[in-house]
């Protein structure tokens, strides 16, 4: 979609859209058009009892007195940034019915122009890469949108960092949508190597090097697959070299069969998305680089495929993590924490981050507890949780803190190793037990947050600015957190 900003003017042809807040009158240009069309706009507002509430949209086809094809008036509730973004979602739902391919949006306020463009880009997303039949593809898509505002340069400047977020969200969504025969550890790493064009430094660490580092927990997960396990390090330097980086770690299980603890078929069908944590970190790093964030950031991705074979890890195997702690693998389907624990040790010892966040589609338990719209968070740092919660409220990517502590730690006791990889009481506090496992790998009181996105990485119905499927959840949330708490 081509987005452009122009001086405030009334278009003479094509499709025109006016944004309208509750209680507000028609804008000056809308009043001018109303007079030109012998009151067509004001009559339509009266007949429809238009209140500018959420999802309120009216359109007038080929009004007399002008050459416009359609005039649309869209409600934006209070006119807040978030309301404007979500109003764009309403418009996107009507693109097919209205047969829109181009649009002129007239709004005097530059902020409204920028945030409506942002909302359009987030909502106007389809993954049609593998659709070959015309009837399966969208007949109409917005190809060009021009925003007329009082200060087009101001609108452009406000939109630029938002466009960087859109790019990161699209990267995340595309990676999650791709099937596992296309995105696997090697191809994912190759994709990351192309991100240098965004200003990221990229390093790929192979299995041999990881073995030499003692990363037995991560390597154990992928040993049943014919595909090599890899670790990818994405580095962005946007601040003084003396500033410790903020680290983001992503679980990248490109397909999770469950291993020898095989998942039932219904649970396995969606497991291409089990690399959602890595995808989110990748998208976030693209966003930070593209908007030239004033921060040093590290993204660390653990890329593995969890498959059953004669070489696969067995229930009751014992592996040694990079930290030196031993783990009795009681369930090969509790594999994400085995990937993350080695990433945590590697990151802390090599980069000494000022704060560390890990993201993972880790447990079905968090989906049962919080549903598809709220991520579960666990942390050893109250301030980070409060900051993350606030960021989530602003970006409509909410989080909810869940407990850790002794009762969950005791469930990890093993008879022969330092710990087991799942709780010894099945189905008891699964999300908290997984987080407690990871907490054992925090070193030197590093401020740490674990974000379980098993419910939020994918939506079965679609949400405002998040079409059905891969949501890109976490990019907006963490970009907001970085901007408000870590940029210098």
CB 319 within 8 A of CB 329: yes
Give the C-alpha separation, 376 to 333, whole Å: 20
CB-count burial class (<10 Å; 0-12, 13-18, 19+) for 392: buried
333 is in an annotated binding site: yes
335 is in an annotated binding site: yes
Read off the CATH number of the domain in which 66 is found.
Answer: 3.40.220.10
Give the C-alpha separation, 334 to 120, whole Å: 38
CB-count burial class (<10 Å; 0-12, 13-18, 19+) for 264: exposed
- Residue for token pair 């989110």: 280
Give the C-alpha separation, 451 to 455, whole Å: 11
Ordered DSSP codes for 259-310: TTSPPPHHHHTTGGGGGHHHHHHHHHHHHHHHTT-SSEEEEEEEEEEE--ST
46 is in an annotated binding site: no
Cβ burial 107-139 (10 Å sphere, 16+ → b, else e):
bebbbbbbbbbbbbbbbbbeeeeeeeeeeeeee
Is 263 one of the catalytic residues? Answer: yes
- In this prediction, residue 85 carries a pLDDT of 96
Q: Note whether 233 and 146 are same-domain residues.
A: no
Closest CA to 55 of 24, 80, 18, 92: 92
CB 168 within 8 A of CB 118: no
Q: Note whether 285 and 412 are same-domain residues.
A: yes
* Residues 238, 300, 200, 195, CA torsion sign: negative
Domain span holding position 437:
164-486
Of 128, 150, 172, which one is at a domain's C-terminal end? 150
Q: How far apart are the first and last CA of the chain?
A: 33
Active-site pick, 170, 173, 337, 466: 337
10 inside domain? yes
156 inside domain? no
Q: Note whether 262 and 380 are same-domain residues.
A: yes
Give the C-alpha separation, 175 to 279, whole Å: 6
Token pair of 19, please?
């944004």
Helix (H, G, I), strand (E, B) or coil at 449: strand
Active-site pick, 263, 294, 401, 440: 263
Q: Note whether 127 and 211 are same-domain residues.
A: no
Of 96, 120, 150, which one is at a domain's C-terminal end? 150
| Per-position pLDDT tens, the chain of length 488 | 999 999 999 999 999 999 999 999 999 999 999 999 999 999 999 999 999 988 899 999 999 999 999 999 999 999 999 999 999 999 999 998 999 999 999 998 999 999 999 999 999 999 999 988 877 777 788 999 999 999 999 999 999 999 999 999 999 999 999 999 999 999 999 999 999 999 999 999 999 999 999 999 999 999 999 999 999 999 999 999 999 999 999 999 999 999 999 999 988 999 999 999 999 999 999 999 999 999 999 999 999 999 999 999 999 999 999 999 999 999 999 999 999 999 999 999 999 999 999 999 999 999 999 999 999 999 999 999 999 999 999 999 999 999 999 899 999 999 999 999 999 988 899 999 999 999 999 999 999 999 999 999 999 989 999 999 999 999 999 999 999 999 97
Q: Note whether 175 and 140 are same-domain residues.
A: no
3-state DSSP of 101-152 = CEEEEECCCHHHHHHHHHHHHHHCCCCCCCCCCHHHCCCCCCCEEEEEECCH
158 inside domain? no
Q: Note whether 140 and 168 are same-domain residues.
A: no
CB 71 within 8 A of CB 40: yes
155 inside domain? no
User: Helices H, strands E: what count in the chain?
Assistant: 17, 19
CB 424 within 8 A of CB 407: no
Q: How many structural domains comprise the chain?
A: 2
Read off the CATH number of the domain in which 254 is found.
Answer: 3.40.630.10
CB 3 within 8 A of CB 147: yes
- Backbone torsions φ then ψ of 20, nearest 5 degrees: -140, 125
Q: Note whether 86 and 44 are same-domain residues.
A: yes
Q: At what angle do helices 152-177 and 276-290 cross, to 10 degrees?
A: 160
Q: Note whether 441 and 340 are same-domain residues.
A: yes
- What pTM does this model have? 0.96
CB 329 within 8 A of CB 274: no
CB 446 within 8 A of CB 348: yes
Is 28 one of the catalytic residues? Answer: no
Helix (H, G, I), strand (E, B) or coil at 405: coil
157 inside domain? no
115 inside domain? yes
Q: Note whether 215 and 145 are same-domain residues.
A: no
- In this prediction, residue 54 carries a pLDDT of 83
Of 86, 121, 150, which one is at a domain's C-terminal end? 150
- In this prediction, residue 149 carries a pLDDT of 94
- Backbone torsions φ then ψ of 33, nearest 5 degrees: -70, -35
CB 463 within 8 A of CB 469: no
Q: Note whether 183 and 145 are same-domain residues.
A: no
298 inside domain? yes
**Other Cβ atoms closer than 10 A to 410:** 13
Q: Note whether 143 and 206 are same-domain residues.
A: no
Q: Note whether 371 and 474 are same-domain residues.
A: yes
- In this prediction, residue 366 carries a pLDDT of 97
């Amino acid at each position: 979609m081509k987005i452009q900003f122009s001086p405030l003017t009334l278009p003479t042809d094509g499709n025109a859209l006016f944004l309208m807040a509750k209680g507000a009158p028609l804008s000056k240009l809308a009043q001018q058009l109303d007079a030109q069309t012998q009151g067509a706009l004001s009559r339509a507002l009266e007949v429809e009892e238009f209140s500018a509430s959420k999802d309120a949209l009216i359109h007038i086809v080929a009004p007399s007195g002008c050459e416009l094809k359609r005039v649309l008036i869209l409600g934006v509730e209070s006119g807040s940034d978030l309301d404007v973004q979500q109003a764009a979602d309403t418009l996107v739902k009507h693109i097919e019915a209205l047969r829109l391919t181009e649009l002129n949006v007239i709004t005097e306020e530059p902020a409204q122009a920028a945030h409506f463009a942002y909302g359009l880009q987030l909502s106007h997303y389809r993954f049609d890469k593998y659709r070959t039949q015309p009837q399966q593809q969208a007949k109409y898509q917005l190809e060009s949108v021009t925003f007329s505002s009082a200060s087009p340069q101001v609108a452009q400047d406000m939109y630029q960092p938002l466009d960087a977020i859109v790019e990161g969200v699209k990267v995340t969504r595309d990676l999650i949508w791709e099937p596992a025969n296309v995105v696997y550890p090697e191809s994912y790493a190759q994709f990351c190597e192309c991100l240098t064009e965004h200003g990221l430094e990229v390093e790929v660490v192979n299995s041999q090097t990881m073995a030499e580092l003692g990363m037995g927990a991560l390597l154990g997960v992928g040993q049943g697959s014919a595909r090599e396990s890899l670790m990818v390090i994405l580095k962005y330097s946007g601040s003084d070299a003396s500033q410790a980086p903020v680290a983001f770690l992503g679980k990248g299980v490109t397909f999770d069969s469950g291993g020898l603890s095989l998942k039932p078929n219904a649970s396995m069908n969606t497991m291409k998305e089990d690399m959602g944590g890595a995808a989110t970190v990748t998208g976030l790093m693209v966003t930070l680089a593209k908007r030239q964030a004033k921060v040093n950031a590290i993204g660390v991705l653990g890329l593995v495929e969890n498959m059953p074979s004669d070489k696969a890890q067995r229930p009751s195997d014992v592996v040694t993590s990079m930290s030196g702690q031993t783990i009795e693998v009681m369930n090969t389907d509790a594999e994400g924490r085995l990937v993350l624990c080695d990433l945590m040790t590697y990151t802390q010892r090599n980069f000494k981050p000022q704060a560390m966040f890990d993201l993972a589609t880790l447990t079905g338990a968090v989906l049962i507890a919080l549903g598809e719209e709220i991520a579960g968070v666990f942390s050893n740092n109250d301030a980070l949780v409060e900051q993350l919660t606030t960021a989530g409220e602003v970006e409509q990517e909410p989080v909810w803190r869940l407990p850790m502590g002794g009762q969950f730690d005791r469930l990890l006791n093993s008879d022969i190793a330092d710990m087991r990889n799942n709780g010894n009481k099945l189905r008891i506090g699964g999300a908290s037990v997984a987080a407690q496992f990871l907490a054992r790998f925090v070193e030197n009181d590093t401020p740490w947050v674990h974000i379980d996105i098993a419910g939020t990485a994918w939506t079965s119905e679609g949400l405002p600015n998040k079409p059905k499927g891969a949501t890109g959840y976490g990019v907006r949330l963490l970009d907001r957190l970085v901007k408000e708490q870590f940029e210098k």
